Amino acid sequence: MNSIATCKQRLPLPELLVRLGLFDQAPKAGNHKCPLHHERNGASFGMDPKNEGWVWICRGKCATGGDELSLLETFLGLDTKAAIRAYEHLAGIGGLASFSPPCGGANAFSPAYHRPLIPNPAPVILKPMPIELPHDLHKGSFEECATVSQLRAVPVETTLLMSKAGLLAFAKVAGFHSWIVLDDTRLIAEARRMDGALYPQWGSLAERKTHTLKGSHKSWPLGLTQGTGPILLVEGSGDFVAANYFCAFTHRTPSPWTPVAMLGASIKQLDPEAAELFAGRHVRIVPHVDAAGKKAATQWANLLTKQNCDVDGFDLSGLTKTDGNPVKDLNDATSFTATHGDALRQLFSPTGGIL
Ligand SMILES: [Zn+2]
């Protein structure tokens, strides 16, 4: 039996759709609302068992269909080779260790991992000059996304979807193969090494775990143009990946949360155009559990309150990871102990703020 046949046996289309967060429960053969184009009325998405696997078709807006592999190609934006690697990984037959969802976390929400299907707001007219990006900047291959998912302890769906959405890219930075967080504004980009090591001291730059790309506007909140609803505001590129993981749990709710990151606790100003995009929105800040994190959160809360935002916070202190160590930031929270399922659920509760 070839690997695709094994994948189809282990993770057939109905279960694959649940794993990707496109359905809450394994859908039966027949017609459904199409989860790929967020269909509200109608049932354009048909699926039926066929031979060893399943076939699906969207007779509506997507106007496409195929088997399990085509679904991964369509939903994750992968070519066939990468879709095969992703399918093997999801079905647990790839060479990579599979991510095990946090026992408290994954059970605390419906397991929806995908990016919001809401349309992006109209592009913002930005006055500052965009940064210069490395000439070899590219969307991630399956292997590159899988490496970041392992480095940051999130499922590979999170990094694949971030890459598809243009929030994660890859390039050589300061001489090292790196992963880069950025957004469609091209105003800020921050790199980290793929091998997890520090960038060495160079000129006036000290040894550092992150390298901000030249020309970046540090006061631009990364990811802000990606949605229009409530905002989960975090600190740093590591927590930005974690926030993408957690916010995906809300993406099929009527009001999905948008992950946004300030890239540094020392940022005391908001870009004026960013301030306008925040205006009137609900912003929940998840500070790092340290003095600098708390101080930064208080400053940001004050700035956002001036924009008529409804600001609250989520305090991670007191939570412990599965290994027993305290949670220090949102990234640590991808590994919660089961007893903290309730705490995690509060992350997106209407009034879960403690700040
Ligand atoms: Zn569709």
Q: Is 119 domain-assigned?
A: no
Q: Is 104 domain-assigned?
A: no
What is the whole-number distance in angstroms between the Cα of residue 55 and the centre of ligand 1? Answer: 14
> Are residues 81 and 214 part of one domain?
no
> Are residues 82 and 10 part of one domain?
yes
Confidence (pLDDT) at 103: 36
pLDDT in single tens digits along all 355 residues of the chain: 788 999 999 999 999 998 888 888 899 999 999 999 888 889 999 999 998 899 999 999 999 999 999 999 999 888 999 999 999 989 988 665 554 444 333 333 333 333 333 344 444 444 556 788 899 999 989 999 999 999 998 889 999 999 999 999 999 999 999 999 999 999 999 999 999 999 999 888 899 999 999 999 989 999 999 988 999 999 999 999 999 988 887 777 778 899 999 998 888 889 888 999 999 999 999 999 999 999 999 999 999 999 999 999 888 887 888 788 888 888 888 776 545 556 666 788 776 554 4
Query: Which of 302, 280, 281, 277 has the alpha carbon at shortest distance from 355?
Result: 302
For residues 313 and 297, the answer to whether their CB atoms sit within 8 Å is yes
> Are residues 147 and 65 part of one domain?
no
Helix axes 156-164, 68-76, angle to 10 degrees: 60
Q: Is 137 domain-assigned?
A: no
> Are residues 206 and 315 part of one domain?
yes
Q: Is 121 domain-assigned?
A: no
Confidence (pLDDT) at 348: 80
Q: How many domains are there within the chain?
A: 2
Confidence (pLDDT) at 243: 94
What is the whole-number distance in angstroms between the Cα of residue 65 and the centre of ligand 1? Answer: 9
Domain boundary among 82, 98, 114: 98
What is the whole-number distance in angstroms between the Cα of residue 32 and the centre of ligand 1? Answer: 10
Query: Which of 212, 253, 210 has the alpha carbon at shortest distance from 230?
Result: 253
> Are residues 228 and 172 part of one domain?
yes
Query: Which of 152, 128, 143, 144 has the alpha carbon at shortest distance from 245?
Result: 152
Q: Is 24 domain-assigned?
A: yes
What is the whole-number distance in angstroms between the Cα of residue 38 and the centre of ligand 1? Answer: 7
> Are residues 280 and 217 part of one domain?
yes
Degrees to nearest 5, angle at CA 190 with 184 and 194 = 115
**Cα 261 from Cα 222, distance rounded (Å):** 5
Confidence (pLDDT) at 24: 82
What is the whole-number distance in angstroms between the Cα of residue 139 and the centre of ligand 1? Answer: 24
> Are residues 146 and 93 part of one domain?
no
For residues 202 and 293, the answer to whether their CB atoms sit within 8 Å is no
Residue 80 neighbours by CB distance under 10 Å? 11
What is the whole-number distance in angstroms between the Cα of residue 20 and the centre of ligand 1? Answer: 15
What is the whole-number distance in angstroms between the Cα of residue 95 and the centre of ligand 1? Answer: 32
**Cα 318 from Cα 87, distance rounded (Å):** 37
The tokens of 355 are what? 């700040």
Confidence (pLDDT) at 16: 94
Confidence (pLDDT) at 112: 35
Domain boundary among 98, 116, 150: 98
Confidence (pLDDT) at 201: 93
Burial of 272 (0-12, 13-18, 19+ CB in 10 A): exposed
**Cα 19 from Cα 241, distance rounded (Å):** 19
Dihedral sign computed on CA atoms, order 108, 112, 117, 120: positive
Q: Is 136 domain-assigned?
A: no
Residue 69 neighbours by CB distance under 10 Å? 19
Confidence (pLDDT) at 351: 67
**Cα 194 from Cα 206, distance rounded (Å):** 19
> Are residues 85 and 156 part of one domain?
no
> Are residues 150 and 79 part of one domain?
no
Q: Show the domain range for 93.
A: 3-98
What is the whole-number distance in angstroms between the Cα of residue 33 and the centre of ligand 1? Answer: 8
What is the whole-number distance in angstroms between the Cα of residue 43 and the centre of ligand 1? Answer: 9
Q: Is 111 domain-assigned?
A: no
What is the whole-number distance in angstroms between the Cα of residue 74 and the centre of ligand 1? Answer: 10
> Are residues 312 and 226 part of one domain?
yes
**Cα 144 from Cα 146, distance rounded (Å):** 5
> Are residues 242 and 182 part of one domain?
yes
Confidence (pLDDT) at 126: 47
The helix, strand and coil proportions of the chain, stated in percent and rounded to the nearest 5, come to 30, 20, 50
Domain boundary among 98, 131, 152: 98
> Are residues 204 and 73 part of one domain?
no
Q: Which residues, listed in sequence order, are joined to residue 212 by a DSSP beta bridge? A: 190
The tokens of 253 are what? 């709710």
Query: Which of 19, 36, 172 has the alpha carbon at shortest distance from 89?
Result: 19
Q: Is 322 domain-assigned?
A: yes
Confidence (pLDDT) at 248: 84
CATH number at residue 68: 3.90.580
CATH number at residue 229: 3.40.1360.10
Confidence (pLDDT) at 355: 40
Confidence (pLDDT) at 111: 33
